[in-house]
Amino acid sequence: MERPAWAPQGIDISVPSVSRIYDYYLGGSHNFEVDREAAREAMRFMPGLPKIMQANRAFMRRAVRFAVSEGITQFLDIGSGIPTFGNVHEVAQSANPEARVLYVDHDPVAVAHSRAVLADKKLAGIASADLRKPHDILSAPETSQLLDLTQPVALLLIAVLHFVEDQDDPYEAVAALRDALAPGSLLILTHASYEGIPLSEEEAGRTVGVYRNIKNPLVMRSPEEIAGFFEGFTMLDPGLVSMPLWRPEGEADQEDPYAFSGFAGVGRKA
Q: 73-108, pLDDT tens digit by residue?
A: 999 999 999 888 789 999 999 999 999 999 999 988
Instruction: Name, in order, each residue with C-beta under 8 angstroms of 144's C-beta and a sequence gap of 6 or more.
Output: none
CA distances for 175 relative to 77, 131, 134, 166, 242, angstroms: 16, 12, 9, 14, 23
Q: What is the mean pLDDT of residues 29-49?
A: 94
Write the CA distances from 134 to 41, 79, 138, 208, integer angstroms: 32, 12, 6, 26
Amino acid at residue number 98: E
pLDDT at 187 over 70: yes
Are 172 and 132 within 8 A, CB to CB?
no
Rounded Cα distance between 200 and 269, Å, is 36
The pLDDT score that the predictor gives to residue 86 is 87
β strands within 192-240, DSSP E: 233-235
Separation in Å, CA 107 to CA 37, 53, 241: 18, 18, 29
Rounded Cα gap, residues 227 and 234, in angstroms: 11
Residues 6 or more apart whose CB falls under 8 angstroms from that of 185 comprise: 72, 152, 153, 154, 155, 178, 268, 269
**Best-predicted range by mean pLDDT (28-42, 165-179, 245-259):** 165-179
Residue 12: pLDDT band (50, 70, 90) is confident
Separation in Å, CA 3 to CA 14, 30, 31: 10, 12, 11
pLDDT mean over 234-261: 90
**Average pLDDT of the segment spanning 30-48:** 95
Whether 261 has a pLDDT exceeding 70, the answer reads yes
Q: Which pLDDT band holds residue 11 (cuts at 50, 70, 90)? A: confident
Average pLDDT, the chain: 94
Q: What percent of the chain has pLDDT over 70?
A: 98
Mapped onto helix, strand or coil, the DSSP state of residue 190 is strand
pLDDT beyond 80 at 31:
yes
Helix, strand, coil abundance in the chain, percent, nearest 5: 45, 15, 40
Per DSSP (E only), the strands in 18-105 are: 74-78, 100-105
Residue 254 has pLDDT above 70, yes or no: no
Q: Is pLDDT above 80 for 252? A: no
| List of domains in the chain | 51-198+220-269 (3.40.50.150)
- The secondary structure of residue 53, as a DSSP letter, is H
